[in-house]
Structure 1
Amino acid sequence: MVTGARKRRDRRKFNRDLKIKAANGKSMNALKVFAEALRFLKDDALQTIDNITVVGEKFVPSDFTWVLSVPAIWDPSAKQFMREAATQAGIVTDMNQNGLVFTLHSEAALSYCMTLPADGFITRGLDKMDKSPGTQYAVVVAEDENIDINVHEVLEGGGLKELHRASYNDLGGQSVDRKFKEFMREIFSNGFWDEYENNYPSEVQRMLKDFSCLRKTDEDIEICCPFKLEKVAQKRQDIEEYFKRVQGASWDYGLIRISKQKLRSFFAQSLLGITHNLREINKYFNIGCILLVGSYAESKILRRHITDEFIDDCKVLCPFRSREAILKGAVTLGINPSIKLPKSAFTYGIGVSDRFDKLKHREDRKFTNKEGEWTGGLFIKLVEVDEEVSWNKTIEFIFYPIEADQTIMNFYFYRTQKKSPKYVTGEGVEEICCLFLNSPKTEGGRSREVKMTITFGCMEIRTTVKDLISESSTKFDFVWK
């Protein structure tokens, strides 16, 4: 439905064996890297809390609910990967998975901004955010790497319903940084900049970091020229000569001056792409307000452009300290997750077997055991794609073994973009997890009841399967949103 500058479609699966490569070319297990990063954050948070509480009172991870905010583009496998990393980091345990919840960046930011007074936003002279049922917000999560645009609607009672989500790369703050670096390459031409970058990569990174802070303004800027860049450049020619070939930049005793007009030009591609995608989304929804959040939203040039482009159509708001809106909103949702109404990104179901009926079932799905003829791989739907599911909704199923002496039962879970597939082998249906249940007491034969309880939580499905005779059970959580 939405077009624009390279809508992101990276759906690479995350798993325990995934490797990531460092800048020095060495690879390491990604799960280990993420687990240790989360462990550091956990330990630091607990230490900070201990430092401000009563002497002698120690807190442990299970004393808290931990919230991980994630971008809209993340595949469910990535979220499941993060849950495993959090478990290895000691944030939660296998027995206490409810202590970790996920939320989207846009949901978190909007939830926080809904609590702010009118003077909590950079734009002055406007009322505080409209909480009237039916009001639609386009939340632009503007970060350095990519731009997420999600549409949410306010419900009766103040809850939120997601209507649309999209993510675009090459439009965030890093695209502005890249344009700046291209300009440096234009100034220090004939391969000199590339040579400098290869020899002194840390200096280039420091220079880009300084620029990323300066691009928040809408004025002429001055960037300190690294000593090695100036020294090496001077060996070729007087450094002022480099700036005679370009427009919008000048040299001033160790400082590179960039004009406001040139700075704005670095934003052109990013602003064009964001505006285009917002206009496309606005065709399908009745947007009452555009909310800008994230680190890139701190840019005056970005805020002014979006305001000028859409002021005749809707409000444009940005909270003070916009990069903290997601963090503070995640806390809000961790305390009260029921304020949002999740919407399933897929149709989820389980595969089951049933007595074969030639009038209803395909012949190629038939198999035979000592109990008779069966059809396998029937898709039993749990939730449908785009279905709104209330917080902590629970459904139950009763299953029976297909053989009287069966001691192990397996339950395979699937997902698809189709609304009502009949078989798990259909096109576009993929397996996402499997549960195995031990059922050692076979005295009841095929009359043994196995109860499956499925609870829809904050972006996750919690599944428990219990043998009512043997009293054995197993459980599994997987991300569904």
Structure 2
Amino acid sequence: MGDSFVIAIDFGTAYSGYAFSLTSKETQDDVFLNRWGKELGLETPKTPTCILFNEKEEFLKFGYEAKTTYMKMRGEEATNHYFFEAFKMALYGTKLNKDVTITAANGKSMNALKVFTSALSYLKENALTTISANTAGMKLIASDFTWVLTVPAIWDPSAKQFMREAATRAGIVTKGTEDKLVIALEPEAASVWCKKLPAEGFVTQNHNKDSLEQTPGTQYIVVDCGGGTIDITVHEVLDGGALKELHKASGNNMGGQTVDKKFKEFLRKIFCDGVWDEYETKFPSEVQKMMYDFAVLKQEDEDVQITCTFNLGEIAQRKKDMGKFFETVQGASWHGGSIKITKEKMKSFFNESLNGISKSLREILKKALNIQFILLVGGYAESKILRFHIKAEFGLQCKVLCPFRAQEAIVRGAVQFGRNPEVVASRKSAFTYGIATCQSFDKSKHKAEKKFTTGEDDFCNDIFMKLVEIDEGVDCNETKEHIFNPVEADQTEMNLSFYRTERKNAKYVDEWGVKNVASFVVNMPDTTQGMKRDVRLEIRFGSTEITATATDLVSGSTGSIKIDFLTKK
């Protein structure tokens, strides 16, 4: 029963949501998406990724409720509460450990793991409540489900593990049932959804009537345009509809929020002489509202008008006449109570982000793969400016497709991925991975300072033994096996240390660009066979997380881990 019940959480930088399925059918129609914002007269597929804590760091609200509550707060009340938004980006490109902190809107910091755990706990409870309300008295609990959590493919493994840790603390899974939590990569989840769509499921350039999965050999790029990251994966459809990754995940942090940031910088430029800074300090919730209005307007490709609030007008007019603020800027004008921004100026806010996306796509396309389609997904893909740009830039080489409701593709695909994670049959390794080993010392090959002696034998330490090479294709079920022996007869444990590098080859683990990512110990209590004892290491690189198991074949003792990428303090 349990395995056919799937809940997928799409935890986004700007917006979050979940979808679920209570059948094992492989159809698209039985994936249900929760709708948010009914209390505000809205019905959206996701809710803002905002979270509010009180002054004691106790969780209060998440999503629209957190946002509206915080927006109504004044002065000291706002300063005492911890309000976080876009906090997912704290996990991009940082060295993570369990003690990392993130800063709230009031300038104070909180433990990041606590913030993420509270957010996931809220989404978990909300999902279970929603489902129970629709299953006619059937009381379902977390362990009845396979849970899927989506993360950007370009994230470091430590960020993926951080999310797994937060999900475990949130009670989504418990010790011993960790395999009920599947980590899905966002562009892969979107790909799983889009490959099943018929031609009429896409907004843009039409393609032939078959869905992508009905035409084996089709190669396409999925560009997941999120609020924080642009996340790109390249797939080929195999016979039977499974997917093969053709290029390791790539992308950048040029998501939709870079556009919002440019807009805010422009407002600061218009309302100069400290006007905007004063407004932002005194009325943070009104700034939130303006940014929210902008998020809706940026989907269009035309002149826009944004209402100037009474408070902003009042602060501004204490300095000078409203019209004067617009004399020194281009692309904006004052229209009786509104700020009018020209279509051209709006486009300029997108430039940096669009150039970043184009650069990433050009790098992939110049590798001369036989790409037929570019699929644009994610909330930011709902912007016409972005879609027109990609079509203008690449439309002659490939057909540019965008599914209707591009924001929903990831979470809907994640449900299907949860049912069948093997739908992505092979991936490209993002790094060269290796393990530290010893070899018999050979002075013609090895550095003298690496020599050490045990008993009568000389060994060379710190040798990087390659397990998988960067960009190497690895099947999702493929296990790599290696046998190791102790270097001392009375050794009672073996320490296995894993390293990674972006280089294809490294000789020693302490060379430039080689980083220690994990280690674990296998006990070898039975020493009767001395150095003739075997330890078998089995590693799976092909799924979204790397797992390793080492077994002492004499005693049967095992050490097994999802490789621990969270750096120690």
Equivalenced residues, count: 470
Which of 32, 39, 44 is the equivalent residue of 2:114? Answer: 32
Distance 1:348 1:119 in 2: 43
The aligned counterpart of 1:4 is none
Alignment of 1:319-468 (within 5 A): 319-340=403-424, 341-358=426-443, 361-370=446-455, 372-468=457-553
Is the contact between residue 103 and residue 458 of structure 1 (CA under 8 Å) also seen in structure 2? no
Distance 2:284 2:132 in 1: 39
The aligned counterpart of 1:49 is 131
**CA shift at 1:14, angstroms?**
1.0
The aligned counterpart of 1:471 is 556
**CA shift at 1:241, angstroms?**
5.3
Task: Indicate how the Cα distance of structure 1 residues 405 and 135 shifts in structure 2: closer, same or farther if over 3 A, else same.
Answer: same
**CA shift at 1:229, angstroms?**
1.2
Distance 1:252 1:64 in 2: 54
Is the contact between residue 153 and residue 163 of structure 1 (CA under 8 Å) also seen in structure 2? no
Distance 1:293 1:177 in 2: 19
**CA shift at 1:242, angstroms?**
4.4
Matched to 1:177, the amino acid is D
**CA shift at 1:474, angstroms?**
1.8
Task: Indicate how the Cα distance of structure 1 residues 451 and 120 shifts in structure 2: closer, same or farther if over 3 A, else same.
Answer: same
1:180 lines up with 2:263 in the alignment: yes
The aligned counterpart of 1:295 is 379
The aligned counterpart of 1:12 is 94
The aligned counterpart of 1:195 is 278
Is the contact between residue 409 and residue 439 of structure 1 (CA under 8 Å) also seen in structure 2? yes
SS at match of 2:473: coil
Distance 1:245 1:368 in 2: 75
Alignment of 1:133-148 (within 5 A): 133-148=216-231
Distance 2:471 2:202 in 1: 32
The aligned counterpart of 1:77 is 158
The aligned counterpart of 1:90 is 171
The aligned counterpart of 1:313 is 397
Is the contact between residue 403 and residue 446 of structure 1 (CA under 8 Å) also seen in structure 2? yes
Distance 1:182 1:377 in 2: 50
SS at match of 1:389: strand
Distance 2:180 2:362 in 1: 39
**CA shift at 1:290, angstroms?**
1.5
Distance 1:395 1:73 in 2: 24
1:162 lines up with 2:246 in the alignment: yes
SS at match of 1:74: coil
Distance 2:240 2:345 in 1: 48
Task: Indicate how the Cα distance of structure 1 residues 356 and 205 shifts in structure 2: closer, same or farther if over 3 A, else same.
Answer: same
Distance 2:362 2:138 in 1: 57
Report the more deviating stretch, 375-384 or 199-208.
375-384
**CA shift at 1:243, angstroms?**
4.8
**CA shift at 1:318, angstroms?**
0.7
| Root-mean-square deviation (Å) | 2.9
Which of 146, 149, 169 is the equivalent residue of 1:68? Answer: 149
Give CA-to-partner distance per residue, 1:22-48, whole Å, 9 cap, x none: 232322222222222222222222232
Distance 2:163 2:327 in 1: 51
**CA shift at 1:459, angstroms?**
2.0
Is the contact between residue 449 and residue 468 of structure 1 (CA under 8 Å) also seen in structure 2? yes
Is the contact between residue 118 and residue 124 of structure 1 (CA under 8 Å) also seen in structure 2? no
Is the contact between residue 451 and residue 468 of structure 1 (CA under 8 Å) also seen in structure 2? yes
Distance 1:155 1:332 in 2: 17
SS at match of 1:233: helix
SS at match of 1:79: helix
Task: Indicate how the Cα distance of structure 1 residues 231 and 334 shifts in structure 2: closer, same or farther if over 3 A, else same.
Answer: same
The aligned counterpart of 1:112 is 193
Task: Indicate how the Cα distance of structure 1 residues 357 and 54 shifts in structure 2: closer, same or farther if over 3 A, else same.
Answer: farther
With structure 2 as the length reference, what TM-score do the two structures score? 0.75
The aligned counterpart of 2:287 is 204
Report the more deviating stretch, 40-49 or 232-241.
232-241
The aligned counterpart of 2:313 is 230
Distance 1:250 1:428 in 2: 52
Report the more deviating stretch, 385-394 or 181-190.
181-190
Distance 2:443 2:207 in 1: 67
Distance 2:227 2:93 in 1: 20
Is the contact between residue 205 and residue 401 of structure 2 (CA under 8 Å) also seen in structure 1? no
Gap regions ≥5 residues in structure 1: 1-8
Task: Indicate how the Cα distance of structure 1 residues 105 and 56 shifts in structure 2: closer, same or farther if over 3 A, else same.
Answer: closer
Matched to 1:307, the amino acid is K
Matched to 1:12, the amino acid is T
Matched to 2:283, the amino acid is Y
Give CA-to-partner distance per residue, 1:341-367, whole Å, 9 cap, x none: 111111212222344444554443222
**CA shift at 1:328, angstroms?**
1.5
Identity of aligned residues (%): 53
Task: Indicate how the Cα distance of structure 1 residues 418 and 253 shifts in structure 2: closer, same or farther if over 3 A, else same.
Answer: closer
Is the contact between residue 460 and residue 479 of structure 1 (CA under 8 Å) also seen in structure 2? no
The aligned counterpart of 2:21 is none
Task: Indicate how the Cα distance of structure 1 residues 363 and 265 shifts in structure 2: closer, same or farther if over 3 A, else same.
Answer: closer
Distance 1:339 1:106 in 2: 13
1:283 lines up with 2:370 in the alignment: no
Distance 2:235 2:464 in 1: 31
SS at match of 1:447: coil
Task: Indicate how the Cα distance of structure 1 residues 188 and 75 shifts in structure 2: closer, same or farther if over 3 A, else same.
Answer: same
Distance 1:284 1:112 in 2: 26
SS at match of 2:129: helix
Distance 1:209 1:283 in 2: 38
Matched to 1:75, the amino acid is D
Is the contact between residue 108 and residue 329 of structure 1 (CA under 8 Å) also seen in structure 2? yes
Task: Indicate how the Cα distance of structure 1 residues 443 and 274 shifts in structure 2: closer, same or farther if over 3 A, else same.
Answer: closer
Matched to 1:126, the amino acid is H
SS at match of 1:445: coil
Is the contact between residue 440 and residue 470 of structure 1 (CA under 8 Å) also seen in structure 2? yes
**CA shift at 1:113, angstroms?**
0.8
Matched to 1:202, the amino acid is S
Distance 1:96 1:365 in 2: 43
SS at match of 1:137: strand
Task: Indicate how the Cα distance of structure 1 residues 184 and 397 shifts in structure 2: closer, same or farther if over 3 A, else same.
Answer: closer
Report the more deviating stretch, 299-308 or 119-128.
119-128
Distance 1:444 1:217 in 2: 73
Give CA-to-partner distance per residue, 1:119-161, whole Å, 9 cap, x none: 1111264335544444332322222334334333333443231
Distance 1:173 1:459 in 2: 25
**CA shift at 1:460, angstroms?**
1.9
Task: Indicate how the Cα distance of structure 1 residues 231 and 453 shifts in structure 2: closer, same or farther if over 3 A, else same.
Answer: same
The aligned counterpart of 2:45 is none
Report the more deviating stretch, 353-362 or 341-350.
353-362
Task: Indicate how the Cα distance of structure 1 residues 78 and 246 shifts in structure 2: closer, same or farther if over 3 A, else same.
Answer: closer
Task: Indicate how the Cα distance of structure 1 residues 371 and 94 shifts in structure 2: closer, same or farther if over 3 A, else same.
Answer: farther
